[in-house]
């Protein structure tokens, strides 16, 4: 970490030197000295980049940023561009997680794969070997569409809790929806239910200290994930927990795209309608999802839950859906990119993708183009208007090469689409928290559910077809005729695609 401290000293020198040169009257030699040192710092950073042996695209991207965006480019480099730090920041957590998850999987029953096709079996064998996460079959999965279906079910299940409630959210806001959930949690604590709550320190910036204090005073155990004040110099602040997990008594689990805030139920006038997808799990898969929470809780609080049999009580269900819960992030070996790549490459008939942020890496782009060349019906659905300039135009910068390969691109127009869904051949599907972008692939802690269950996949397909009615398909001719101004925006935003 000595190198990290040196780089921050460089940043302070840049800012202070620029301030002195711009605002003060100084001798010419001082300006020349500052310029020489500045150039030396940039050269040092470029050499460091080259020695990291990243992909040529990422290396060139950051070289351009460092050269053409003085000081600001260096800040981007420090705060968003450095991925190598995850290697030692989360090394111990990665090794610990692997061992604990292996032990948990030994307690689970052997999955019944008799209902799987050869294609499904091949996919799950790969993902199980790649991630170490076992497939669950004594489980049930239900797809929930939008906040109007999801939150009533979450609140209903929370009120049924008898032993414990474990919650983990990237974004939790102190608005009417957040307060409603808080009231239920406080009431359950009064009834003797254990409640633990993880919120991401960056994503939940609008979770008021007053509400946090109120929860703690009521008896809720609350912990932030990687507080910003502790992560400034070691760059932990750049690795965010994007997971959304709710576990009730180890019997019911929720996971998907919905955070807690009024926009997620379409009550934000500036955003309007909000399209999202969540999943409710029952049975053995809940134990796997719960393990993800317990490992995160131990990381933020040092309280060990995962070894307590109380939190591993099996709950039988009538369903036998084939489900695999897969967490990814800096603390895991595999990236969600590898799993998405496998899902796309496995497809023989169609691949339907819905994601709010589509900034794919080279392997995903290659997999999509090869699939389309093989005659697979590839569709990518993104919101027409995104919630950020860079994400919106970086996404559009990839349309040209996709359209050339016959990939169909759709703009969702009814409102903001936030779901993260991928469906292949009507046989396999993914629902979860991970977008198709570099932040989800490299920086964020994510969790997705992959399934071969017939009913949930049929629900997802029906919802996708309904969503297409609210879309405009991007035609190649129309897209290629876009103006120079739009092209410049796309090209500029794409410079930052490696960190979006």
Instruction: Cite the active site residues.
Output: 242, 244, 249, 418, 420, 425
CA distances, 3 to each of 7, 65, 235 (Å): 6, 20, 12
Write the DSSP symbol of residue 139.
Answer: E
d(CA 391, CA 299): 31
- Cα(244)–Cα(159) distance, integer angstroms: 19
Please answer whether residues 259 and 172 qualify as being in contact, where contact means their C-beta atoms are separated by less than 8 angstroms. Answer: yes
d(CA 281, CA 279): 6
Cα–Cα distance measured from residue 51 to residue 208, given in angstroms and rounded to the nearest whole number: 43
User: 260 near 173, Cβ under 8 Å?
Assistant: yes
Q: Which two tokens stand for residue 15?
A: 């800012």
Please count the other Cβ atoms lying within 10 Å of the Cβ belonging to residue 497. Answer: 22
56 to 17, 37, 62, 194, 442: CA distances (angstroms): 32, 27, 10, 50, 17
Q: What are phi and psi of 53, to 5 degrees?
A: 55, 45
Question: Could you tell me the CA-to-CA distances from 257 to 248, 330, 435 in Å, in that order?
Answer: 18, 20, 9
Q: What is the distance in angstroms between the CA of the first residue and the CA of the last residue of the chain?
A: 25
Contact 6, 40 (CB under 8 A): no
- The continuous run of DSSP H or E covering 450 comes out as strand 446-451
What are the start-end ranges of the E strands in 174-244?
A: 194-200, 221-225
């Amino acid at each position: 970490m000595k190198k990290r401290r040196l780089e921050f000293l460089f940043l302070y020198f840049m800012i202070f030197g620029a301030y002195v040169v711009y605002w003060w009257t100084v001798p010419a030699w001082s300006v020349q000295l500052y310029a020489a040192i500045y150039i030396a710092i940039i050269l040092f950073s470029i050499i460091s980049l080259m020695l990291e042996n990243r992909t040529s695209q990422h290396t060139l991207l950051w070289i351009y940023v460092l050269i053409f965006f003085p000081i600001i480019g260096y800040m981007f480099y420090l705060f968003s561009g450095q991925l190598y730090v995850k290697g030692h920041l989360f090394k111990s957590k990665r090794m610990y997680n692997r061992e604990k998850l292996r032990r948990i999987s030994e307690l689970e029953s052997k999955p019944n794969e008799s209902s799987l096709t050869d294609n499904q079996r091949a996919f799950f064998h790969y993902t199980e070997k790649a991630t170490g996460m076992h497939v669950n079959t004594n489980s049930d999965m239900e797809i929930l569409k939008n906040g109007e279906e999801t939150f009533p079910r979450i609140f209903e299940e929370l009120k049924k809790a008898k032993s414990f409630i474990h919650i983990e959210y990237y974004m939790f806001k102190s608005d009417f929806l957040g307060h409603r959930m808080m009231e239920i949690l406080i009431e359950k604590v009064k009834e003797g239910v254990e409640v633990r709550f993880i919120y991401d320190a960056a994503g939940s910036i609008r979770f008021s200290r007053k509400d946090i204090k109120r929860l703690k005073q009521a008896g809720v155990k609350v912990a932030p994930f990687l507080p910003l004040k502790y992560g400034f110099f070691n760059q932990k602040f750049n690795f965010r927990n994007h997971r959304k997990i709710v576990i009730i008594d180890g019997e019911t689990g929720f996971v998907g795209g919905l955070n807690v805030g009024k926009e997620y139920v379409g009550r934000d006038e500036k955003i309007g309608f909000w399209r999202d997808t969540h999943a409710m799990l029952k049975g053995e898969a809940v134990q796997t999802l719960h393990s993800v929470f317990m490992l995160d809780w131990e990381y933020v609080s040092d309280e060990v839950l995962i070894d307590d049999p109380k939190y591993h009580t099996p709950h039988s269900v009538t369903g036998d859906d084939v489900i695999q819960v897969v967490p990814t992030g800096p603390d895991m070996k595999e990236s969600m990119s590898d799993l998405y790549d496998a899902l796309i490459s496995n497809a023989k008939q169609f691949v339907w993708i819905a994601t709010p942020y589509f900034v794919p890496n080279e392997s995903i782009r290659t997999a999509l183009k090869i699939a389309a060349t093989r005659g697979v019906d590839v569709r990518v659905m993104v919101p027409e208007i995104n919630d950020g300039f860079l994400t919106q135009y970086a996404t559009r910068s990839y349309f040209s090469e996709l359209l050339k390969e016959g990939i169909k691109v759709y703009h969702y127009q009814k409102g903001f689409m936030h779901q993260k869904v991928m469906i292949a051949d009507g046989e396999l599907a993914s629902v979860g928290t991970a977008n198709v972008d570099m932040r989800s692939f490299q920086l964020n802690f994510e969790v997705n559910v992959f399934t071969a269950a017939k009913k949930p996949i049929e629900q997802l397909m029906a919802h996708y077809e309904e969503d297409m009615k609210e879309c405009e398909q991007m035609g190649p001719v129309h897209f290629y005729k876009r103006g120079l101004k739009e092209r410049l925006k796309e090209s500029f935003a794409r410079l930052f695609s490696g960190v979006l």
